[in-house]
Amino acid sequence: MYTHIVCAVDGSELSTKALRHALALAKSFNARLSVLTVTDPSVIVAPGAEIMMVDTASILADLDKAKEESAKGILTDAGRIAQDEGVAVNPVYLPGHHAAEGIVTTAKNINADLIVMGSHGRRGLGRLLLGSQAAEVLAHSDTPVLIVK
């Protein structure tokens, strides 16, 4: 039924739970599994919503590097879990995108036929609702979405 699944992870417990569901599905359908983490664009905004004129290039480069290191750690952890389950995964890191947009775009670009993700992750106030990212993916994806609670 499924041949290529994409699972969005952010390092939260709920995304790990979603990953475990994706692994079980990939195993039972003998499907490929891409594990995706997305990091937001880096911007620096002053309290008055004006861009600060300090050495923003250096600050943004440091911020992007920290995000990349965190993403690599998240994907490494997901890879270990997959290896323990005997499932090969394709790690995908997409920097500079809003999570929902990155998930939908990646699923489309890799021809995934299922998106698996947690109902919320570590994204601030949005996690108080269904998880704004999950709601956005549901609203904008042509690919079926499995939301894990």
pLDDT < 70 regions, the chain? 44-55, 121-131
- Mean pLDDT over the full length of the chain: 88
Does any domain span residue 1? no
What domain range is 71 assigned to?
A: 7-40+55-148
pLDDT of residue 116: 98
CA 15 to chain centre: 9
E-assigned strand segments in 21-106: 32-38, 90-94
- For residue 77, give the H/E element and its range: helix 56-85
Strand order of the β-sheet with 114-118 is 90-94, 32-38, 4-8, 114-118, 145-148
pLDDT of residue 57: 75
pLDDT of residue 60: 83
pLDDT of residue 131: 60
For the whole model, what pTM was predicted?
0.85
When divided into structural domains, the chain yields a total of: 1
Does any domain span residue 97? yes
Does any domain span residue 82? yes
Residues 94 and 67: their CA atoms lie apart, in Å, by 11
